[in-house]
Structure 1
């Protein structure tokens, strides 16, 4: 069983001040009916004490406090009356609207107006005097005025809470957007770093392994030449990427985006790196001249080809690696096929991040991606990477 909440310190203060004020008025003989109540005169203290007790519940149990207050107010009508009792009752009406349930906040003002109208009409009928309207006015000041004051304060309080909640939600959404932007930027940087450097490092790993395993001066010199070339190019690309990251937001010119016109250079480099492993590289380009190609799509296609060639250098069996490009008005298709099977000679280790990066690039453009072993027309098993990238206005504007 849950223990009742302790009265708020402000409610205790109101109750004590109201009780002491009523006692002072009683001691001075100041009442509201001039001694026309029932005897003894001290009976007016009972409603006063009950009303003070109800004030202790004005915030924690507002409906109960108002019910006690109404009973005490009714009892006060048969005594000489006390202004403090009436004042505390108006506070209970105000508190019931402010701290009560939404239903009570709607119902109490309406009931107070109906009750005021009923008291006014009844007084006019009973006393047959226009001054009876004053009784209705007093009743309105005791009930209607505090009720609508509570409505006004509650409306402003709820509006302030709603505004604070909206501000907190806006801040939360901004933080979520910032976190997502940082995560997306980190993923993009990881893809760029992997695609730019992995090709060179893979060639270095393969040729250094060959140089160590084959004890021939000529082979070692060739391997070292390839290692040096890939080291220099990889270092240059790493410096470009670091420079881009340092200059971002400082008004630097955007870095040049790789384009499909550079595929021939990729293949030339792959031929040099793959010759010792018995790999041959060919390009099949069926695209028609004049078809537009958005920069994000062209970058994604270039990186997919670059990563596929890197994977072929690492894992492909001796044979022909084919790079294909095709395009219509809606889609750019990229595919890379390579022999699949056991590979003799040195290999470079792989982590699988390249396939993940290619899949992410395609997903960002709402394209389709597939990779894995398939059977070609000759019945041989090959490894195929295939991506379909939409070419539309949305990507063109990206």
Structure 2
């Protein structure tokens, strides 16, 4: 009920127009100014009736445009049977303008056409009735009162609608830009999380395993060897972290820019490090590269393959039973294949805890390249025993999604 009453409350512009029109009409009537030269059918104060009605309609020009046009037309016709008030005619032109501007879209389209036809019809009719060219002037007067305000209202409404549509498009573009920014931030956070995990997990796993061994075995030689491995991995991990922090802090400084992203050419060094870290756990590591010497891979594919091998070796150091961890690289149907197998079963000695984030990160790297990733126990190891197998197919001839190509270590 309150909202309904509020919607009927006159707008300030309507109140001002009604007051000005009523005051002006009363002043013109008081000084004897009218539009009818001959003796009217309703002389005297009858001219005030259409004036008051039209002024009252100005209060509803925004809230009831259709009603004010119909009643205003009746008041305008009635005004012609009195001495005629110019103020009534002027207020009617504003009612016609408001009916087009604030009315329904259908009314906004029809009213200019209707007033245009009335103007032409009035010009032809008055000319035929009077049998002289003065009838054209009467038709022009009808056009000034009806057609001109209607076409003006249509133009103003068109500009208003165009401005509203442009504002809506601007808001939509801003919303899409904000969504893109949020998605870019999320993607960058995910990329940095993968990079951070891959950079330090290998070193921290080795530190955890050897520190556990040093604490659990009361042997000076074993403790010294474990501390040596711990120190080496601590120094290497710290260096990797510094490079990553340098990327975040000084990404535009060429002199302090981190090293470029690792490639498959660095796998030998990666396996040497794994051999040193896994020797105490009875693990051996082999690499079988069947790609051929002329194989050239896109940088995002090389980085993803390197990180998958790196994380697989880290998982083997933490969870694999004694035996051989085999890394195999190959090419098939326009894709790079990566397969890492490790002994699967009970493991003696110390183990490092796992969170599962490594498998998630490897799957994300493959998905960003529209590739395939699988991980789990399979049969077919040495002696038919189960092994843990990680397998990835990374397409090399597609448009790769995501920021992998820009990753650095």
TM-score (norm 2): 0.93
1:303 corresponds in structure 2 to 307
2:387 corresponds in structure 1 to 382
**By how many angstroms is 1:251 displaced?**
5.0
Check conservation: 1:326, 1:332, Cα contact below 8 A.
Answer: yes
1:3 corresponds in structure 2 to 4
**By how many angstroms is 1:150 displaced?**
0.9
1:329 to 1:247, Cα distance in 2 relative to 1, 3 A: farther
1:128 to 1:251, Cα distance in 2 relative to 1, 3 A: farther
Count of equivalent residues: 398
Q: Deviation string for 1:1-35 (max 9, x for gaps)?
A: 65141111111111111111111111111111036
Check conservation: 2:243, 2:258, Cα contact below 8 A.
Answer: no
Q: Deviation string for 1:105-154 (max 9, x for gaps)?
A: 11110000011112122212222121011100000000111111112211
**By how many angstroms is 1:170 displaced?**
2.0
SS in 1 for 2:378: strand
Check conservation: 2:246, 2:258, Cα contact below 8 A.
Answer: no
2:397 corresponds in structure 1 to 392
1:40 to 1:348, Cα distance in 2 relative to 1, 3 A: same
**By how many angstroms is 1:224 displaced?**
0.5
Larger deviation, residues 198-207 vs 249-258: 249-258
**By how many angstroms is 1:344 displaced?**
2.1
Runs of 4+ more than 6 Å apart? none
Q: Which runs of 5+ in 2 are unaligned?
A: none
Is residue 2:98 matched to residue 1:100? no
Q: Deviation string for 1:216-261 (max 9, x for gaps)?
A: 1111111101100100100011111111111113456563110111
Write the distance in 2 (CA, Å) between the matches of 1:384 and 1:74.
93
| 1:1-398 alignment, distance < 5 Å | 3-4=4-5, 5=7, 6-34=9-37, 36-251=39-254, 253=257, 255-328=259-332, 330-376=334-380, 379-392=384-397, 394-395=399-400
Q: Deviation string for 1:306-345 (max 9, x for gaps)?
A: 0011011111122221111002461000011112222222
SS in 2 for 1:3: helix
Q: Which runs of 5+ in 1 are unaligned?
A: none
Q: Deviation string for 1:71-120 (max 9, x for gaps)?
A: 21122122221111100110011111111121111111000001111212
Write the distance in 1 (CA, Å) between the matches of 2:71 and 2:344.
88
1:36 to 1:351, Cα distance in 2 relative to 1, 3 A: farther
Write the distance in 1 (CA, Å) between the matches of 2:55 and 2:138.
25
1:380 to 1:157, Cα distance in 2 relative to 1, 3 A: same
| RMSD after superposition | 1.8
Larger deviation, residues 44-53 vs 170-179: 170-179
SS in 2 for 1:373: strand
Larger deviation, residues 132-141 vs 324-333: 324-333
Check conservation: 2:322, 2:343, Cα contact below 8 A.
Answer: yes
Check conservation: 1:329, 1:391, Cα contact below 8 A.
Answer: no
**By how many angstroms is 1:57 displaced?**
1.1
Larger deviation, residues 254-263 vs 218-227: 254-263
TM-score (norm 1): 0.95
SS in 2 for 1:143: helix
SS in 2 for 1:57: coil
Write the distance in 2 (CA, Å) between the matches of 1:384 and 1:37.
106
